[in-house]
Amino acid sequence: MADRTTRGLLAGLVAGLLLVLTACGGDDAGAEFRGAVLDQPYTVPDTALTDTEGQPFSLAKDTTKPLTLVFFGYINCPDICQVVMSALASAMTRLDASDRSKVDVVFVTTDPQRDTESALRTYLDRYDPSFIGLTGDIKTIASVGKPLAIAVLKGEKLPSGGYEVVHSTQVSAIDGQDQVPVLWTQGTSAAQFAADIHTLLGKES
């Protein structure tokens, strides 16, 4: 986990953002901060999944950076997953070296039957080799996602013989207190992600 000083800074920033967003109201509310600040942050479960090296990885215990962005998706996703992952990858290139060192991006597969550890690694390397990929059995993945308001369902079979996977599409921010105080929608751009990350890390964007 992040050190106590960083945790306090992030908690203070999120609390301040919440006050600002609550006070503003109207169409301009949150115009400078794209993420949605939660009144009651989600608590991250400590259940371990498996990373692309075959090692246990818990979103609570093993997220050691001050900020971790988590997206649940799958390799064969025809549209949304690619858009979100591309935006996150581009956002990382917009950060300076100091900020980039404080952020991890984690991709949790919602299709473990097809998304093997090696397939996940190959997929994520196309976006950013530092991105962390997690898999596991579907029940465990669903149990990790549930407290974060992530739904995971196996969808209809496709004419190709494959199948769709229905999943929530938000990006979750995990802070040093193993909580999710901020969410971003699938439509968030790379520039918006980068600006919000600057804000959450305590820098002016």
Binding site as annotated, residues: 77, 81, 167
In what helix (H) or strand (E) does residue 184 lie, and over which residues does it extend? Answer: strand 179-184
CB 111 within 8 A of CB 76: yes
What residue numbers does the annotated binding site for Cu cation cover?
A: 77, 81, 167
DSSP state of 40: E
SS3 107: strand
Give alpha helix (H) positions in 94-183: 97-100, 117-125, 138-145
Between CA 181 and CA 107 the distance in angstroms is 18
Secondary structure (3-state) at 174:
strand
Which among 177, 176, 185, 173 has a CA at the least distance from the CA of 148? 173
CA atoms of 99 and 134, how far apart (whole Å): 23
The distance from CA 202 to its chain's CA centroid, rounded to whole angstroms, is 19
